[in-house]
Amino acid sequence: MAVVINKEECIGCSACVSACPFGAIEMQDSKAIITDACTQCGACIDICPVAAIVREQEAKVVGMDKNDYKDVWVYIELAEGQPRNVSLELLGEGRKLADAMGQKLAAVLIGGKVEGVAKDLFANGADQVYLIEAPELAHYTTDGYTAVVTDLINNYKPSVILLGATNDGRDLGPRVACRVGTGLTADCTDLGIDEATGLVAWTRPAFGGNIMATILCPEHRPQMGTVRPSVFKKPVPDATKTGEIIRVESVAKAEDIRTKLIEVIKVCTGSCNLEEAEIIISGGRGMGKPENFSLVEDLANVLGGSVGASRAVVEAGWKPHMHQVGQTGKTVGPKIYIAAGISGAIQHVAGMSSSDVVIAINKDPDAPIFRMADFGIVGDVCEVLPLLTEEFKKIKQA
């Protein structure tokens, strides 16, 4: 929809000039004209006394037949030769979407020698596995994987593609979407089917997490989105399930890949691998000072868990961003989440609400975190955490 001015009907009153909040209307030869600064907000339409400003329907040009596109795909991200949890979580949700749409669920498996992973993908719900193996694809590269996935889409035409909102997924998703001429909804926290249209309804936070926006992609295919890890649970695998492996030749050429993996240096141990963790101990501003985070780390070491942090802690420089849990950090879903000295702001809760069991420790009995906690301890975290650590040590020794 474009906003246009009928010059023959315009009387040159300039009412629209002052009404435009973006300064996008100017007077020229006693007639109003709309400049490139127009955002099509329509404020000028209501103010025009002679209805000389209207919205003009623009012809939609869609260079694809949507009926050619079918099936739900999940991009499988690998870590040390095994699927990341988020990929298995998406197979579970993809299964629901595929069943609701009456289509197949396919996994896209790319790597060096990764065929052995296919059996796990079938066990977790996939009907088909598109397998692309090549030496130059043994490790993720932007150039190589973008070329391969783009070629795969152009040839097999999926209706829906799900990717994890990880570093690799956030790199690959938009590049592929741009090359195949479709949109991409980023950082989704929920998926569903819109009853009125049958389209995938992608839900994601907007305006700093204050509202949840539901987005549809009606005119282009495939419908693509990245989904945050741990917002869904992994399906229960069925080892008896089998499926079809579709082998696809790689179009990626070694000379076209501009990056080369020299060495993998692990800058973080399992203590900050939040997406895969089954136990997370997170500290907030209630820890008092950065030195007190050693109490959180001690408990995490005893329990074999990971260390998380609230946004306030990260912004204060007590912990790096890789530890942040919440709306602007990582979304987690461990079996046990211990919130130590965290008040429970809505942005933080949004990142850990999928946890199976939440244990809150806070000296303020009215802290919001207690409203969603399964267990609560009212007390000073600097006193409570050492006691918990010692008790768990005794239990492990016994």
Does the annotation list 347 as a binding residue? yes
Is 397 annotated to bind a ligand? Reply is no
Q: At what angle do helices 142-156 and 167-180 cross, to 10 degrees?
A: 50
In whole angstroms, what is the distance from residue 337 CA to residue 325 CA?
A: 11
The answer to whether the annotation marks 345 as part of a ligand binding site is yes
Identify whether the C-beta of residue 201 lies closer than 8 Å to the C-beta of residue 214: yes
Residue 362 known to bind ligand: yes
E strands, 71-199, in order: 72-76, 78-79, 82-83, 105-111, 128-133, 160-164, 184-188, 190-193
The vertex-323 CA angle with 379 and 287, nearest 5°, equals 25
CA separation for the pair 377, 341 (Å, rounded) = 11
86 is in an annotated binding site: no
273 in a known ligand binding site: no
* Cα–Cα–Cα angle for 234, 235, 239, rounded to 5 degrees: 125
Residue 6 labelled as part of a binding site: no
Is 354 labelled a binding residue?
no
- 326 labelled as ligand-binding? yes
Please tell me whether 311 is known to bind a ligand: yes
Whether 149 has a binding-site annotation, put simply, is: no
Q: Is 285 annotated as a binding residue?
A: yes
Is residue 28 annotated as involved in ligand binding? no
- For residue 222, the one-letter residue type is P
Neighbours of 219 (CB within 10 A): 12
Residue 223 assigned as binding residue: no
> Pairing relation of β-strands 279-283 and 244-247?
unpaired
Q: Is 220 annotated as a binding residue?
A: no
Annotated binding-site ranges for FAD: 285, 310-311, 324-328, 341-348, 362
Annotated binding-site ranges: 285, 310-311, 324-328, 341-348, 362
